[in-house]
Amino acid sequence: MISACVIVKNEEKHLPLWLESMGRIADEFVVVDTGSTDDTVKLAEEAGAQIFHFDWIDDFAAAKNFALAQAKGDWIVSCDADETFTPEDAAHVRQAIEEAEPGVAGFACLQHDLEADGRVRDHTVNVRVFRNYPNLRYQGAIHEQIAWIDGRPQGEFPYREDFIIQHTGHFTENITGKFQRNIKILERIQAEGKARPVDIYQLAESYYGLQDYAKALSYIEKFLTMDVRILGSPERPQSLRIQSLICLQHPAEEVYRELAAAEKEFPEAPVFPWIRGVYAYERGEREEAERALLHCAAIAESLPDNPIETRMSHVYSRLGNLRYEKGDFAAAAAWWQKGLAETPYNGEALGGLLRLLSEAEAEDAELIGFLSSRYDAKRDAAFIVAALPEGREKVELYYRLQGKLPTPPWTLYRLAGNYGAASAALFEEQTALARVLAAAGSDEEREALPIVYRAALTAPKTPADYRARRGLRTFMKEYKSLQQEGKP
């Protein structure tokens, strides 16, 4: 008998797929709820699962071990609610269990962290399938791992290549909230003197995710002194350290020295030439950037499981930019097309191709035909407009109307060539905006409206601020455009 065990809280979006996937493997569902307020429990009940409740105590191992204690099966499949197997892989899991030798306690396998479009963002190696031994339980309040809790192993965990865990929750979860939750738990563990090396590593990851690079660097350097490797991603701690150094603006000599050491230690890891290439590109070191990005592409394309798959489109588009700057337009176009083949919504790559077409004096109808062969005029209008080069007013107007994009009246007038009406609408909008800002501010702010504009343009902190920033940028862009045309 095989038991599928899971702990849940508000997992109504993920649970149906989990139940479907685990139903291909398991003979019973054990669902432990830790405080759901949505339809999670109802969905589990309708699927015939055994429902248990566990008061959350900031300890994932405790909750999962409670679930394991309820299982009646000889084997357990312990996937999270956002982790599943494909139908083919589920059959392989069942077969592996049925054919397992007595000395096998469980199986390790690859886990793919997927983006919304199904591409692999990252991968790790995990144990999710194991025998229901009383001394085989989870350890660690967070990023818990299965372990022999009495130190007496009863078998091995061979690695299986014929099934892969598909982790889809990464792109739907509240990442900031997750990092904050993790830090709260991990710092409590550390204060209690119970932190494992993996907890120190996860503190570094969590602080990096919150863009607190100084703390991330501090914890990752502490982890690196422990001589412990991350299963499935041994190069990740070094890449995290180097990226923290870059974000903290450490000297370039130090960054390049650490990159060289990492590339020597992990010669087949494409992440380090990727970091080198992007870093050099941003520093204006074009030859170094191209050399590194070409090396990155060569390594990544040779790997059956590319750990930087989601970054390859970015690699290709930067290579396209570099070739364009050298006047090698055919090679630039090839790299940009390769970037779009990886990620159709790569604005840098599409913008480069549209720029080439415009410089080749392609007609508006040709541009629209090119775009229509790749994108939906209504659904993708905003993306297309953002990628269009200057001077394509009719194409921009077409897509703004097709997509029914929110467009200021002066923009519509300008795109239609009615500059007098555009000027009048722009002046009216400017006056209204000034009135609103003046009424909302202090006496000092009313006397210095340009400062208010600059603050909104350069220091966004919330989604509302970002919207204001975009609006002000649009305003300034249109205003300058009309001034340059001599038609304000």
Residue-range domains of the chain with CATH: 2-171 (3.90.550.10), 175-387 (1.25.40.10), 407-484 (no CATH)
Q: What's the rounded Cα separation, in Å, for the pair 128 and 162?
A: 14
| Whole-Å CA distances, 123 to 35, 129, 200 | 30, 17, 20
Q: Is 7 left (phi over 0), alpha (psi -120 to 50) or beta?
A: beta
Q: Are 316 and 338 within 8 A, CB to CB?
A: yes
Inform me whether the pLDDT recorded for 433 exceeds 70. Answer: no
Instruction: Give the model's pLDDT for residue 480.
Output: 54
Inform me whether the pLDDT recorded for 456 exceeds 50. Answer: no
Measured in Å, how far apart are the chain's first and last C-alpha atoms?
Answer: 78
Inform me whether the pLDDT recorded for 466 exceeds 50. Answer: no
- The secondary structure element, H or E, covering residue 121 is strand 120-131
Question: Please, which pLDDT band fits residue 452 given cuts at 50, 70 and 90?
Answer: very low
Return the closest-CA partner of residue 383 out of 357, 365, 405, 367.
405
Q: Are 51 and 29 within 8 A, CB to CB?
A: no
Highest mean pLDDT among 280-294, 296-310, 444-458: 280-294
The one-letter amino acid code at 69 reads A
Q: What's the rounded Cα separation, in Å, for the pair 214 and 207?
A: 8
Q: What's the rounded Cα separation, in Å, for the pair 453 and 420?
A: 25
Which structure tokens are listed for 326?
């050298």
Instruction: Give the model's pLDDT for residue 451.
Output: 42
Q: Are 125 and 109 within 8 A, CB to CB?
A: yes
Give DSSP secondary structure letters for 140-197: -SSS-EEEETTS----B--EEEEEEEEE-GGGTS-HHHHHHHHHHHHHHHHHTT---H
**Beta-carbon contacts of residue 184 (< 8 Å; ≥ 6 apart):** 58
| Furthest-apart CA atoms within the chain: distance in Å | 85
* Chain segment 130-172, per-residue pLDDT in tens: 999 999 999 988 888 899 988 788 899 999 999 999 998 765 5
Return the closest-CA partner of residue 159 out of 209, 204, 109, 226.
109
Query: How high is the mean pLDDT of the chain?
Result: 87
> Is residue 417 helix, strand or coil?
coil
Query: Percentage of the chain surpassing pLDDT 90?
Result: 67
Instruction: Give the model's pLDDT for residue 477.
Output: 57
Q: Are 242 and 262 within 8 A, CB to CB?
A: yes
CA triple 204-206-209, angle to 5 deg: 110
**Beta-carbon contacts of residue 214 (< 8 Å; ≥ 6 apart):** 248
Average pLDDT over residues 403-410: 82
Which structure tokens are listed for 442?
């202090």
Average pLDDT over residues 271-282: 97
- The secondary structure element, H or E, covering residue 29 is strand 28-33
* Chain segment 220-262, per-residue pLDDT in tens: 999 999 988 887 788 999 999 999 999 999 999 999 999 999 9
Q: What's the rounded Cα separation, in Å, for the pair 31 and 10?
A: 12
Instruction: Give the model's pLDDT for residue 296.
Output: 97
Instruction: Give the model's pLDDT for residue 275.
Output: 97
Find the DSSP H helices in 235-363. 236-247, 252-265, 271-282, 286-302, 312-325, 329-342, 347-359
Q: What's the rounded Cα separation, in Å, for the pair 273 and 279?
A: 10
Question: Please, which pLDDT band fits residue 462 given cuts at 50, 70 and 90?
Answer: very low
This prediction's pTM? 0.72
Q: Are 434 and 445 within 8 A, CB to CB?
A: no
